[in-house]
Amino acid sequence: GENVEQHPSTLSVQEGDSAVIKCTYSDSASNYFPWYKQELGKRPQLIIDIRSNVGEKKDQRIAVTLNKTAKHFSLHITETQPEDSAVYFCAASIKGNTPLVFGKGTRLSVIA
C-alpha cells in the first residue's frame, strides 16, 4: 500500500521567513495530494491540495509543488505569521479508490 514520509518533524522559523515541508510517497498511482493544518486541540482542516495533472498551485501565502517523477511534493509558506504555528500533515491517495494515507506531521513554530 501507499506510504507517505514527511520531513522535518519539527520546524521553527522567524516571523516573516519562509517555511518548507516536504513529503515523499511510494505508490506511483497516487494522484491526489492534500495538505491539512491542525491547530492545538482542533480538528485537521484542508488548506490546499494538488492533483497529478498540475505541477504547482498557489493560494495567497501558501503554495504546493508536485514532482511526479521523483514522487515528492512540498508545502511552501511565505511571510510566515504567528497564526501559522500548527501541525501540518501531507497525504496521498488514488482518486476514488483508496482512503488518504497521511504523513506523520510537521510541527511548525513561528517565532515573533
Partner 1 sequence: NAGVTQTPKFQVLKTGQSMTLQCAQDMNHNSMYWYRQDPGMGLRLIYYSASEGTTDKGEVPNGYNVSRLNKREFSLRLESAAPSQTSVYFCASSDQGGGNTIYFGEGSWLTVV
Binding of partner 1 at residue 103 (CB under 8 A)?
Answer: yes
Binding of partner 1 at residue 26 (CB under 8 A)?
Answer: no
Task: Cell 504546493: give the residue.
Answer: 64
Rounded alpha-carbon distances, angstroms, from residue 99 to 13, 59, 76, 86: 32, 25, 25, 24
Rounded to a whole number of angstroms, the CA Rg of the chain reads 13
Using the minimum distance from each CB to partner 1, give the nearer residue, 85 or 93: 93
Count of residues that interact with partner 1, criterion CB under 8 A: 25
CA angle in degrees (0–180, nearest 5) for 41-79-6: 55
We find the least distance from the C-beta atom of residue 61 to partner 1, in angstroms, to be 20
Rounded alpha-carbon distances, angstroms, from residue 60 to 51, 72, 83, 101: 18, 22, 15, 26
We find the least distance from the C-beta atom of residue 46 to partner 1, in angstroms, to be 5
Binding of partner 1 at residue 94 (CB under 8 A)?
Answer: yes
Question: Which of 21, 23, 44, 74 touches partner 1 by CB under 8 A?
Answer: 44
Binding of partner 1 at residue 45 (CB under 8 A)?
Answer: yes
Binding of partner 1 at residue 9 (CB under 8 A)?
Answer: yes
Binding of partner 1 at residue 75 (CB under 8 A)?
Answer: no
